[in-house]
Structure 1
Amino acid sequence: MTRHLAIVPAYNEAGAIAATINDIRDHSDFDVVVVDDGSTDQTAAIAAAEGVPVLRHPFNLGIGGAVQSGYQYALANGYDVALQVDGDGQHDARHIMELLAHLRDTPGLNMVTGSRFLEHADGGYRSSASRRLGIRVFASILSRITRRKVTDPTSGFRMVDARGIELFARDYPHDYPEVEAVLLLHFHKLEGAELPVRMRSRQTGVSSINAHRSIYYMIKVTLAILVGLLRARPVVEKGDPAAVTAEHSI
């Protein structure tokens, strides 16, 4: 029997974390772990009161560090499938079992991402116009590099198999993880795909990337992609989770 885990990174999401946990429970058979990334509110206490494990960072590491902690937990506890679900309520848990079926039924697939921008995604929240412009730029760059269609490279609604868990537990981007993780998967010769999903606007709080910072964000992420093309990464040897060797990206 395969074991499934939902990783919920959360930073000051006290207003949404309980609803997020229960949304996952209502629509899937996934276990849940919350990674409290140095919150200063009651996020960790509320999550613990819902009866789920909570990994607490003593200070804020950022989304990449929080997600990697979740993958390390998944690897250490023998999970076969891991899903990322944002703690702010944007990701609709009704799509979880669709993602799982696609991952399970597609030979050779290691990661499936929920995309807001596939033609049959049927609307839903798609972020601001300035951020959509940046997403299109990143999607175009990554589609050329990976030689497959990428439409939503900033989506944090992602599911991976055991090989993806092994890879991301040991090497996960910290600065701009959603975009760079697509590259990481590609350079380790793992396969990714997208599935249309609807997303909601965040239930509480505000995004750290506002309209004034969108251009700055675009430039930094583009530079991060270029640097990502050059940096060396560990290679997880198939069949031996403990065996890691160094390999250059290009």
Structure 2
Amino acid sequence: MPSTLLAEPPLNPVHEVFHVDRVLRPSETGPQRKHKIIAVLPAYNAEQTLAATIADFPAGCVDEILLVDDGSKDNTVAIAREMGLTVIVHEKNTGYGGNQKTCYKYCLDNGADVVVMIHPDYQYDARVIPHAVGMIELGICDVILGNRVRSRAEALKCGMPWWKYVSNRGLTAFENLFLGQNLGEFHSGFRVYRRNVLETIPFERNSNDFVFDTQFLVQAVHFGFRLGDIPVPVRYFDEASQINFRRSTKYGLQTLTAVGRFWLNKFGWKSDLFRPK
């Protein structure tokens, strides 16, 4: 079996700091890409996992890597700058959704054709980026999500807490049913968007909290974009950011509310979430 085909993804979140040119400008020049691809990393206290996350980016898979720091208390910003990333700093914590708003505004202002969003906590396997981007570039999908749950056994083996697995499966089934989709997972921290998606969806009106992601997908369905997914191996460990049970419960209720607003809007109870920009 070739060494690139691994039975399990390597788990080694500690990685030496290196300059991002290793990823953006590889020594061997391949075919010139026709689209500008920007990867965005919404970050909060990611100093222990940032370098490892970017080390898994296949060389030449993106043109720029942006890290938006949301008021971290550690050395995330210093490490990101040492590595040569583009860095935007929020002096005060704006929340996960607020962080992404800054990410996407930057991408639109700087000519991105495709945007890759990946959490910098080394939980998602960045080696799949070219494959996910390819689905966008081929015109097959407008939005691609990384699916962490290929099977119950694998998800639990990788460390997903059982209560998170149950809630993930329940909410995903609910969203698929009421949004008319067939996604393996709605709650992934690995996503790829076509530029037109960001230009159309009024994401500035979304919550600054974790439910931003759900609202974004509900809006994507409302505006008729094509959603798809791709399997992404994940890793759960102490350094990987996770929301606790209480925050997860709040997020679950907010998800149900977002889907409810989608249907109320269909029946005439108009919501700003679905009003065009």
Normalising by structure 1, we get a TM-score of: 0.83
- Mapped partners of 2:81, 2:68: distance in 1: 11
Which residue identity lines up with residue 232 of structure 1 in the other structure?
D
Query: Residue 232 of structure 1 corresponds to which residue in structure 2?
Result: 272
- 1:210-225 paired onto structure 2 within 5 Å: 210-211=244-245, 213-225=247-259
Query: Residue 175 of structure 2 corresponds to which residue in structure 1?
Result: 142
- Mapped partners of 1:129, 1:71: distance in 2: 33
Structure 1 residue corresponding to 2:143, chosen from 105, 111, 114: 111
Going from structure 1 to structure 2, the CA distance change for 1:37 and 1:10 (only over 3 Å counts) comes to same
What SS class does the counterpart of residue 253 from structure 2 fall into?
A: helix
- 1:46-65 paired onto structure 2 within 5 Å: 46-65=79-98
Give the gaps of 5 or more residues in structure 2: 1-33, 266-270
Going from structure 1 to structure 2, the CA distance change for 1:22 and 1:204 (only over 3 Å counts) comes to same
Going from structure 1 to structure 2, the CA distance change for 1:17 and 1:203 (only over 3 Å counts) comes to farther
Going from structure 1 to structure 2, the CA distance change for 1:173 and 1:189 (only over 3 Å counts) comes to farther
Which residue identity lines up with residue 221 of structure 1 in the other structure?
T
Which residue identity lines up with residue 226 of structure 1 in the other structure?
G
- Mapped partners of 1:27, 1:121: distance in 2: 34
Query: Residue 129 of structure 1 corresponds to which residue in structure 2?
Result: 162
Query: Residue 215 of structure 2 corresponds to which residue in structure 1?
Result: 180
Q: Kindly state the Cα deviation for residue 147 of structure 1 after the two structures are TM-superposed.
A: 1.1
Number of equivalent positions: 235
- Mapped partners of 1:93, 1:167: distance in 2: 27
Going from structure 1 to structure 2, the CA distance change for 1:169 and 1:73 (only over 3 Å counts) comes to farther
Query: Residue 240 of structure 1 corresponds to which residue in structure 2?
Result: none
Structure 2 residue corresponding to 1:86, chosen from 102, 119, 122: 119
Query: Residue 193 of structure 1 corresponds to which residue in structure 2?
Result: 228
CA contact (8 A) 2:64 2:86 kept: no
Asked if residue 7 in structure 1 is aligned to residue 62 in structure 2, the reply is no
Q: Kindly state the Cα deviation for residue 138 of structure 1 after the two structures are TM-superposed.
A: 1.5
- Mapped partners of 1:223, 1:41: distance in 2: 34
The Cα offsets for residues 30-49 of structure 1, whole Å up to 9 and x where unpaired, read as 42000101111111111011
What SS class does the counterpart of residue 150 from structure 1 fall into?
A: coil
- Mapped partners of 2:151, 2:190: distance in 1: 18
CA contact (8 A) 1:90 1:203 kept: no
The Cα offsets for residues 128-185 of structure 1, whole Å up to 9 and x where unpaired, read as 1111111112212211222121221110100011112323575344331222221010
Q: Kindly state the Cα deviation for residue 50 of structure 1 after the two structures are TM-superposed.
A: 0.5
Structure 2 residue corresponding to 1:158, chosen from 171, 191, 197: 191
Give the gaps of 5 or more residues in structure 1: 237-243, 245-250
- When the two chains are superposed, the root-mean-square deviation of aligned CA atoms in Å is 2.6
The Cα offsets for residues 194-224 of structure 1, whole Å up to 9 and x where unpaired, read as 11111122562552x2245544443343234
